[in-house]
Amino acid sequence: MSSSSSFDAVPAVKTLAEIYPSSAALAEQGVRWDNLATRFEEIYGRKPAFVARAPGRVNIIG
């Protein structure tokens, strides 16, 4: 049996460029993520501490 933890299967990235390698996709998606963070701040009065991403599911910020 493997001794790896459940955290090993969860990738973590620091920049959108790690998710969207093409410059066109990065530009388009960067605007979308910026809008999401801005709207979060408008509603909750502070910037999100992190964004959890689940492709094909739902994005959760907080």
pLDDT digits (tens, 9 = 90+) for 31-57: 999 999 999 999 999 999 998 887 776
Measured in degrees and rounded to the nearest 5, phi and psi for residue 52 equal -100, 125
Residue 6 has pLDDT above 70, yes or no: no
Does 8 have pLDDT greater than 70?
no
Q: Is residue 2 part of a domain?
A: no
| Amino acid 55: pLDDT | 74
CA angle, residues 3, 14, 58, in degrees to nearest 5: 80
- Domain enclosing residue 53, as ranges: 14-61
Is residue 9 included in any domain, yes or no? no
The answer to whether residue 51 is domain-embedded is: yes
pLDDT (0 to 100) of residue 11: 80
